[in-house]
Each structure stands twice: as structure tokens, then as C-alpha cells.
Chain A
Amino acid sequence: MLVSRIAKRRGRFELDVEFTAAAGSTTVIVGESGAGKTSILRLLAGLDFPDRGLISVGGAVYADTESETAVPAWQRDIAYVPQDYALFPHLSVWGNVAFGLEALRVSSRDTGARVEEALGRAGILPLRDRRPAQLSGGQQQRTALARALVLNPSLLLLDEPLSALDLQTRRTVRTELRELLRGLSCITVYVTHSPLEALVFGSRILVVDQGRISQAGSRDELLRSPRSRFVAELMGTNLFIGQRAADDGAGSPRVRTPDGEISVGDDPGDGEVFATVSPREVTLHRDRPEGSAQNVFCGPILELVPEPPGGERLRVVLGTRPVLVAEITREAVIGMSLAEGMTVYATFKATGVSLYS
């Protein structure tokens, strides 16, 4: 369990956040650049210290301004993967991954075994003698993760782990990373500016804006009830995660998700795929629609929110599986006399789905 209640002032910028995170979970901190995301990670890592507050991991107090506790980074049971990895350029892949164990004075036999295992799990054992400069972006990222995970930390801190990669690599690495994080028993804190990464990785999402947490919750909670324009913009999209469904030979390609299949316009390709649908692409019907729309979901209206407040359009949050958000005009709401609790049909076209992988 991570408990953190931190306040820090740097010039005009003021950071003041409070959150907890459970072991085995991934908490995503999402926000625009300059919102204070990296500052939070540096405080958790012990590279900076709060002006006021408390940081504890699994009962061990790392910082407490009340009792004047300030444990430096090297004495904390954490691992930190910075944004551009900061692999030591003068050490080989092996030397980088062994660095932490050597600092802990683990016996050289155990170090050898653990490094070999970490490199094997990351699939980079054949690269053990390479220097970082001789690695591709994806290989550097795996080395940085192996260097962190070989320490079996209680708290894993990831700062924009995908942003240094080109789009091609990002797809495969993202899928691997999702699998990897799912299997970890430590607390993971994942920082990103990308709302999609937040939706994909976060079992819990903290939206940070100007040094404050503007909203915290699960993916569905944030989609269902964004409490600010900022969060709505960040989260204002419907997301499906799945894989290409077996081709039935008729009609458009389909993506199979845990909540059912959806039709998409383009070929989703192999492997994990993310499909997004803008709320404006979702239309609502009182009765089961007939005709061409391939994607039809049925569920109760959970919430009707003017968007923006007092504006001409409304966000309609639906209790479908998965949760869907539609954005329609006020006229349409009045025309269909929609109300909260009413069961409706939501549809969107296959061509309205954007694939993201």
C-alpha cells in the first residue's frame, strides 16, 4: 500500500496531491505537460523531498515532514524508469541491469543468476554485451525495465515509458508492457500525458491538472462522470480493447472484446488492438433500430449532462456493457423525450470506429 500526501512549491508552481495505491495495481497519473506528473514521481522516488506531507510504502515511511523523516532515493525500496531511460552509456546491458544488485552487495553468483533471469524474461539475453548506444529504442526500453524489475521493488515508477519509442515499436511494446504490469505484485505508478494510455493501463486513474488531482477513479467512473471540462476532454472517448474476431466471411471486419464484438471499418491487424469511438458518432434510439448500423448496444441512461454546462449539447452516459458515452443535441433529447433511467439503443457505424494500436 502506497500512501502519499505531498505538497511542494517550486517558484510559482504548487504541487498538492493526496492518493493511495494498492499492491498489484497500476495507478496512472495523467495530465498535460507541466501539470506536475514528473514532480510527483521524483518525490515518490526520493529524488526530491516534499515541503509538507507523508510518503509511505508498505508501512515503511520514506518521507514525513512532521517527524522530519527524509529517506534518500538509494535507501528506498523503489525502482524508477525515467522518461528517456537514462541507461548508463559506459556500461553494457548486463552492467546496467546488474548495477542495482551490485550496489545492494548481492553476492556475485546471485547477481549473475538474477540478471540472467531478468534479461531472459525481457528477451534481451543475446544483447547482454551491447552498449545502450547500440540498442534500438524498444531494446533500450526493455533494458531499462529489466534494470528496474531485477530489484523486485515494492514500488515501480514509470515516467512516460512509451513516449521515447517510434509508433511502430510502441504498438508491440505497449502490449508487452500491459501483460508485464498485470503480472507484477508491486505497486505501479505510471505517468503519461496520453489519455488513451491512461485508459489502457490504469486500473485506477488520477487526472492531474496544475499540480492538483482534479479527479480520481476507475476508467468507467471517469468516463461515466467526468467532473470537469478538462477530464471530459481527456476521457471524452469510448474505448474498446480486443483482438480481431474470426472472419465470418460476411460484412466488415470485427473486433472481439470482453464485452462483445464490434464491427470496424478497417482491418484491425494482428495482436491487441484499441478501438475508439467519439461520443458524437454514437446515436440513440427509443426502439431497436432496423437497417445498416452494425453496432447496436442496449442499456439504461445513467446520466444526462449538459456539455458544456448550459450548452446546446448533452453527454448521455449509458449503462451498456461496456459503458458508452454519447453526445447529442438538446433538440434530440427533447425530441425523443430522453430521461435518466430510460432504456435506449445506442448505435454507431463501423466506419466511425478509429483503430489504434
Chain B
Amino acid sequence: MTSGAARFRRLSLGELALRLAVALLGTLLLLLLGLPLLSLLVRVPAGELLGRLRDPIVVEALRLSLITSTASTLAIVLLGLPVAYLLATSEFRGKRLLEVLIALPMVLPPTVAGVALLTAFGRTGLAGGALGALGVELPFSTLGVVVAQMFVAAPFFIGATSAGLAEVDRRYLDASATLRAAPVRTFFRVMLPLALPSLLAGAAMGWARALGEFGATITFAGNMPGVTQTMPLAVYIALQTDVEAAIALSVVLLLVSLAVLLSVRLAPSGFTALGVRAGFSDR
């Protein structure tokens, strides 16, 4: 009864105006965000889309993108996990500064990141000579693509993982220590499994960011088909010659991004259902 009464309660003029304004602005924003995505999907028929994907340039770009983004994600996990652990578990001087530095690539214009990478690892860059002496050449190489992707994607992984590690209840770590587990064992058997949803989410977000990397890559690694031309670069080039191919590639990237985001959003609750994060959630 009460809800019925509330539903039929007469709205004041002010409330009505406010609701109208919210609805109008919301619709505008949804159109602005949604329409481009929708039009991308309806522009090319599914059959033709598959045909386009067999184009050698497309296949090459896809292959390169998958390899480089996966490699950079693995490298970020390997190098980023200790940093995330440090940030999550210890207090030290300059910690805030370190956190800001690590997050910086998230807001830095990617082309600036590319220029920065050139000045550091370019042939005439700060560390360029040393790398050259070791026979490593980063600019305009596939390895350079990986480095550019790591630069922009690392903050996503480190941020999510250190937050996840910090969230692990101290009581479990104490319990582990009193059960004869050395700190390393406690980390791998208790802390890491409990923070796994955050770690996977961070890795997925980092991987998606690496897959979509454009500015830093084209600045630092250039645009050579088969060597440094990843999907976003191929989309940009194709747009100037073959619009249909650009759209086909874009659709693929859109679907991949959507899949990553969906899995990140859905996975943690899935893990909770498995009991990974449950147990003492009421405390």
C-alpha cells in the first residue's frame, strides 16, 4: 500500500523539472558514448567482417598485438608484483612519491610517454649507449613495442594488485605464521591466493591497455608492418586507404575490450561465490 501511495504522490514542479533534466542529460551522454560503438557494429555485415579479418595486414597486426600485449603483461606481472607487495605491506620514506610516479603514465599523454622512452632508450638516449653495447636496440623494434606497452599498462596492474594485497586480512597472515609458514610461504600460499581476484583484474586491465596502446608505440617503436604495427596502428593506417578494414579491426578491438571489462567486473563476484573472499565478510 505504501509503495503504491508513494508512486502516485504528486511531484512538485521543481522535482519534475529536475527529473526531466537528469533524463535529458543522461540520454545525451548515452548517445554520445553508445552511438559510435553501436554504429561500429552495424556498419559491416558479420560475413564481410570475417572475410576482412583474413587480410594478411590484419592477420599480421592481430598476431603482433596478441604477442606483444601478452608479453608485456607477463613482464609487468613479474616486475610489478614485488613493487605491489612493497607498497601494500611496508611504510617507507618516499612511498607516496613512488605511488605518484607509478600512477603517472595513466594520465600522461601517450605520445609524451613515447618521447620520454626515446630520450631514455633511443640510440642517443641516456641508456641507449649501454643497451647498444649489449646488442639491444629498443626503438623501432618489437621489443620496443613491448616496452612502450609496459610503460603505459604497468600502473593498472600495480595499482589493483597492491590494493588487493593490502586488503588481505592480517589475521590470516598471523595464522599462517603461527602454523610454521615462513614469510615467503605465507605470501604464496595465503596472501597471493586471497588477493588473486584483484591481481587477475589488474592483469586483465593492463593487458587491455597494452592491446590498445597507440601513442607511445608509434612514437617510440614506429609503424612497421609485422614488426611494430600493432592493431591500433593498423586501424589508423587502414582508415586512410581501406575504411572497411579499419572498421573490421576496430570491431575486433571493441569486442576484446568489452570481454576484458566484463570478465573483470564479473570475476571477483565469481571468486566470492567459490569462497575465496568469503568466510569472515561479516566482520
B279–A103 CB distance below 8 A: no
Roughly how many angstroms separate A75 CA and B283 CA in the complex, as a whole number? 29
Shortest Cβ distance from residue B117 to the other chain A in the assembled complex, whole angstroms: 39
Asked if A90 meets B276 with Cβ closer than 8 Å, knowing A84-B171, A99-B189, the reply is yes
Residue in B closest to A85 when the chains form the complex, CB atoms: B175
Cβ-based interface call for B135 (8 A): no
Shortest Cβ distance from residue A238 to the other chain B in the assembled complex, whole angstroms: 36
- CB-CB under 8 A from A45, the residues of chain B are 174, 178
Roughly how many angstroms separate A80 CA and B175 CA in the complex, as a whole number? 7
- CB-CB under 8 A from A60, the residues of chain B are none
Partner pick for B180 among A47, A82, A131, A151, CB 8 A cutoff: A151
Partner pick for B172 among A75, A86, A131, CB 8 A cutoff: A86
- CB-CB under 8 A from A13, the residues of chain B are none
Shortest Cβ distance from residue B256 to the other chain A in the assembled complex, whole angstroms: 30
Residue in B closest to A140 when the chains form the complex, CB atoms: B279
B279–A73 CB distance below 8 A: no
Shortest Cβ distance from residue B82 to the other chain A in the assembled complex, whole angstroms: 21
A74–B181 CB distance below 8 A: yes
B276–A47 CB distance below 8 A: no
- CB-CB under 8 A from B182, the residues of chain A are 74, 103
Residue in B closest to A157 when the chains form the complex, CB atoms: B178
Shortest Cβ distance from residue A68 to the other chain B in the assembled complex, whole angstroms: 20
- CB-CB under 8 A from B185, the residues of chain A are 103
- Size of the chain B interface, CB-CB below 8 angstroms: 26
Shortest Cβ distance from residue B268 to the other chain A in the assembled complex, whole angstroms: 14
Shortest Cβ distance from residue B250 to the other chain A in the assembled complex, whole angstroms: 40
Roughly how many angstroms separate A149 CA and B214 CA in the complex, as a whole number? 58
Asked if A88 meets B275 with Cβ closer than 8 Å, knowing A100-B180, A103-B182, the reply is no
- CB-CB under 8 A from B180, the residues of chain A are 74-75, 100, 103-104, 151
- Size of the chain A interface, CB-CB below 8 angstroms: 28
Cβ-based interface call for B194 (8 A): yes
Residue in B closest to A97 when the chains form the complex, CB atoms: B179
Of the listed residues A76, A84, A89, the one surrounded by the most CB atoms of chain B closer than 10 A to its CB is: A89
- CB-CB under 8 A from B174, the residues of chain A are 45, 47, 73, 80, 82, 86
B172–A88 CB distance below 8 A: yes
B178–A79 CB distance below 8 A: yes
Roughly how many angstroms separate A78 CA and B177 CA in the complex, as a whole number? 11
Cβ-based interface call for B277 (8 A): yes
0/1 interface trace, chain A 23-42, chain B, CB 8 Å (1 if under): 00000000000000000000
Cβ-based interface call for B119 (8 A): no
Of the listed residues B171, B194, B277, the one surrounded by the most CB atoms of chain A closer than 10 A to its CB is: B171
- CB-CB under 8 A from A104, the residues of chain B are 180
- CB-CB under 8 A from A132, the residues of chain B are 275, 279
Of the listed residues B176, B179, B190, the one surrounded by the most CB atoms of chain A closer than 10 A to its CB is: B179
0/1 interface trace, chain B 252-283, chain A, CB 8 Å (1 if under): 00000000000000000000000111111001
User: In chain A between 35 and 90, which residues have their CB closer than 8 angstroms to a CB of chain B?
Assistant: 45-47, 72-76, 78-80, 82, 84, 86-90
B171–A89 CB distance below 8 A: no
- CB-CB under 8 A from B129, the residues of chain A are none
Cβ-based interface call for B226 (8 A): no
Roughly how many angstroms separate A131 CA and B193 CA in the complex, as a whole number? 14
Cβ-based interface call for A293 (8 A): no
Partner pick for A74 among B169, B178, B193, B280, CB 8 A cutoff: B178
Shortest Cβ distance from residue B197 to the other chain A in the assembled complex, whole angstroms: 11
Shortest Cβ distance from residue A145 to the other chain B in the assembled complex, whole angstroms: 13
Roughly how many angstroms separate A90 CA and B183 CA in the complex, as a whole number? 18
Roughly how many angstroms separate A74 CA and B174 CA in the complex, as a whole number? 9
Partner pick for A89 among B186, B189, B279, CB 8 A cutoff: B279
- CB-CB under 8 A from B178, the residues of chain A are 45-47, 73-74, 76, 78-80
- CB-CB under 8 A from B181, the residues of chain A are 74, 99-100, 103
Cβ-based interface call for A133 (8 A): yes
- CB-CB under 8 A from B280, the residues of chain A are 84, 86, 89
- CB-CB under 8 A from A46, the residues of chain B are 177-178
- CB-CB under 8 A from A80, the residues of chain B are 174-175, 178
0/1 interface trace, chain B 145-169, chain A, CB 8 Å (1 if under): 0000000000000000000000001
Partner pick for A103 among B179, B194, B277, CB 8 A cutoff: B179
- CB-CB under 8 A from A79, the residues of chain B are 178-179
Shortest Cβ distance from residue B79 to the other chain A in the assembled complex, whole angstroms: 25
Roughly how many angstroms separate A138 CA and B252 CA in the complex, as a whole number? 53
Cβ-based interface call for A169 (8 A): no
Cβ-based interface call for A134 (8 A): yes
Cβ-based interface call for A8 (8 A): no
Apart from A86-B171, A89-B275, A99-B176, what are 5 other A-B pairs with CB-CB below 8 Å? A47-B174, A75-B180, A84-B280, A100-B181, A131-B278
- Closest 5 A/B residue pairs (Cβ): A89-B279, A100-B179, A131-B275, A80-B178, A73-B177
* A residues at B contact (CB < 8 Å): 45-47, 72-76, 78-80, 82, 84, 86-90, 99-100, 103-104, 131-134, 147, 151
* B residues at A contact (CB < 8 Å): 169, 171-172, 174-183, 185-186, 189-190, 193-194, 275-280, 283
Complex A-B: 10 CB contacts under 8 Å: A47-B177, A73-B178, A79-B178, A79-B179, A82-B174, A87-B279, A88-B190, A103-B181, A103-B182, A151-B180
